[in-house]
Amino acid sequence: MTTDRPAHYGGDPVREGVLGYGGQSITDAEREAVVEALDGDYITRGPTVERFEERVADLVGVAHAVAATSGTTALHLCGRAAGFGAGDEVITTPLTFASTAHVASYTGATPVFTDVEPETKTLDPDAVRERITKDTVGLVPMHYAGHPADIEALLDVADDHDLTVIWDACHAIGGTYRGDPIGAQRDMVVFSFHPVKNITTAEGGMVVTDDDHLAERLRSLRSFEMDYAPAGHENEPWYQVTEGLGYNYNVTDLQAALGLAQLDRLDEFKGRRDDILAHYREAFADVSGIEMPVVHDDTDPMFHLCAVEIHAEAFGCDRQEFVNAMHDENIGVQVHYVPLHHHPYFQDEFGYSEDEFPVTNEVYCRLVSLPLFPEMTDEDVGDVVRAVRRLHAYHS
Ligand SMILES: Cc1ncc(COP(=O)(O)O)c(C=O)c1O
């Protein structure tokens, strides 16, 4: 028995205030940029949005970037631009946030879940091949926690079956795969700028693509699918007509100004995330039963999450006890994710049940995301380490 008793078993918590698992970093540069945009001629979608789009397109090395109001709406635009619809099947991962699968469900297509690789927790290309049918039209892999999926193997499957690929890179802006930025891959790649993500615009998302036709569709769908200058009406400048079922997913210049200021700090953010992860790796090297995220040789991920696996027997307690014990220490760990085939919506609409996808289910039982965000102080990192180590020691 240790004298450093965990709070869960009657000791004092390692800290008083709650430490969340993620969060934004805002400095005077961001504040000034937003205020400046507020004084501009446009406070809805204007020239700052265009500059933000150009910066992101340049960053990943593609021709087009289309900003949207969130990662979710950006994914929706992709499903529509790809032309998915009723009767179509779109293969995706169950170990993700619901919006990944909604690329299919929003368009009337069916999300076909396929198991993941245990190391990276991303779509298993062999399992994907087995799920292809004559109705399969698309693939939506997700770069879990920021680590790239097996991009080459998944693109091979897509090539063999003529599939449109929409990469959910909501976790992954700032990383690379085989030297190429995440975002450079065909057909479309989606980022999220929610405050817990690698950069933020409060709410916001973006699609990047090299495909001119897709970019045009994305822009039109984002803004009401309106023809603002139809042929034959040149002398009627007011004549604007709706061509299809579009949306208002326009972002504001205020958000874009925030996004530009955050992009200036992308390297700083990556550096801090890398440092914190390196610190955890070192601090937990001698702690049995806690498995740190893998990094494949051909990748340089910008980790959005530090998703570790707790192996109950070796660590001394299971994931549930770990999470509750950490919460009692005021460390706000989280689990990413309750697999989508466990959710009532996907069960009721598409007939999934909890006992499918054994790799996902096994990994899910062990997953916990430790706090990881640039604003964490060394003291915060130390609190997480101490909380984990004292829990492990208590059970040893
Ligand atoms: C993997 C993944 N995809 C999509 C989304 C949706 O992004 P947003 O919150 O910007 O709509 C999220 C956000 O939580 C996510 O984690």
Domain harbouring 204, CATH code: 3.40.640.10
Query: 221 and 80 share a domain?
Result: yes
* Residue-level pLDDT at 184: 98
* CATH code, domain carrying 336: 3.90.1150.10
Query: 338 and 286 share a domain?
Result: yes
The answer to whether residue 197 is catalytic is: yes
Query: 191 and 314 share a domain?
Result: no
Query: 121 and 243 share a domain?
Result: yes
Q: What angle do CA 50, 186, 108 make, to 5 degrees?
A: 90
* Residue-level pLDDT at 3: 64
Query: 108 and 239 share a domain?
Result: yes
- Rounded CA gap, 218 and 381, in Å? 41
If one residue of 73, 99, 105 were mutated to test the ligand 1 pocket, choosing by the most ligand atoms within 8 A of its CB, it would be: 99
On whether residue 20 sits in a domain, the answer given is no
Q: Is 259 in the pocket of ligand 1 (CB under 6 A)?
A: no
Q: Catalytic residue among 121, 134, 197, 270, which?
A: 197
Query: Which of these three, 205, 237, 263, is where a domain ends?
Result: 263
Query: Which of these three, 263, 295, 320, is where a domain ends?
Result: 263
On whether residue 276 sits in a domain, the answer given is yes
- Give me ligand 1 centre to Cα 357, in Å: 22
- What six digits make up the tokens of 355? 């006992």
> Cis ω on the peptide bond leading into residue 337 (within 30° of 0)?
yes
- Rounded CA gap, 231 and 323, in Å? 61
* Grouped pLDDT means (10 residues each) for the chain, 396 residues: 83 98 98 97 95 98 98 98 98 98 98 98 98 98 98 98 98 98 98 98 98 98 96 96 98 98 98 98 98 98 98 98 98 98 98 98 98 98 98 97
Q: Is 22 in the pocket of ligand 1 (CB under 6 A)?
A: no
- Give me ligand 1 centre to Cα 73, in Å: 10
Structural domain that includes position 316: 7-14+266-395
- Rounded CA gap, 109 and 88, in Å? 5
On whether residue 22 sits in a domain, the answer given is no
Q: How many domains does the chain have?
A: 2
* Ligand 1 atom showing the smallest separation from residue 74 Cα: 11
DSSP string, 193-253: --TTSSS--SS-EEEEES-HHHHHHHHHHHBTTEESS-TT-TT-TT--EE-S---B-PPPH
* Residue-level pLDDT at 1: 43
On whether residue 92 sits in a domain, the answer given is yes
Query: Which of these three, 240, 263, 286, is where a domain ends?
Result: 263
Query: 304 and 389 share a domain?
Result: yes
Query: 232 and 110 share a domain?
Result: yes
Query: 80 and 182 share a domain?
Result: yes
**SS3 call for 10:** coil
Tell me the β-bridge partners of 128: none
Query: 92 and 239 share a domain?
Result: yes
Query: 108 and 207 share a domain?
Result: yes
Q: Are 261 and 55 in contact (CB under 8 A)?
A: no
- Rounded CA gap, 139 and 158, in Å? 7
- Rounded CA gap, 149 and 91, in Å? 14
Query: 121 and 208 share a domain?
Result: yes
* Residue-level pLDDT at 263: 98
On whether residue 19 sits in a domain, the answer given is no
